[in-house]
Amino acid sequence: MGLGGLEPPTKRLSAHSGRWVFAFSMQAEQSIVVDPKSPGGINSPHGLILFDGVCVLCSRGCRFVSKRDRRGYFRFVPIQLAEGRPLAEQLGIDPDRPDSFAFVATGQAYVKSEAALRIARELPRWQWTWVFHFIPRVIRDAIYDLVARNRYRWFGRRDACILPNSDRSWPS
């Protein structure tokens, strides 16, 4: 198994809706299909953050990332939207009751604490957070789950999804 409990990508390409897509496995029984040229795909210069669009903490986190993303690397998609739902479902995230966000980059997906650390690694002056990989993932994810369970109570919930720009960048 690779870092963060992920299997390395499979080498199988398949046709999906007339496009070639790259499939890879997450924790053996889960797989996700991402168009190689779409954000998060193996041939894309962009990473994709799937987030809970009604969660105040999640949208603030996306805004935090966007303000520090000098390269314009990140793209954002709410889990609840038609574009985000199938990706979330492939990762085992219920789009109607998301318990995690996800980060997809170069054909690999990460959830929970691993997603947060992989995102921070891409931000200037935040690479130091890699040191948290020395904490076992089970402990990091337990802390993540505690915050995730209480995020609406502690930070609030919106009535409607925050929508990124049409190119999936964060609104200024």
The 10s digit of each residue's pLDDT in 114-156 is 999 999 999 999 999 999 999 999 999 999 999 999 999 999 9
Mean pLDDT of the region 33-57 = 84
- Which pTM does this prediction carry? 0.78
Cα 148–chain centre separation: 14
Which residue has 């007339």 as its token pair? Answer: 18
112-133 per-residue burial string, b: 16 or more CB within 10 A, e: under 16? bbbbbbbbbebbeeeeeeeeee
According to the model, what pLDDT value does residue 32 have?
A: 60
As a whole number of angstroms, the distance between CA 53 and CA 165 comes to 13
Q: Hey, CA dihedral for 43, 46, 47, 50, is it positive or negative?
A: negative
pLDDT 10s digits, 31-41: 466 777 778 77
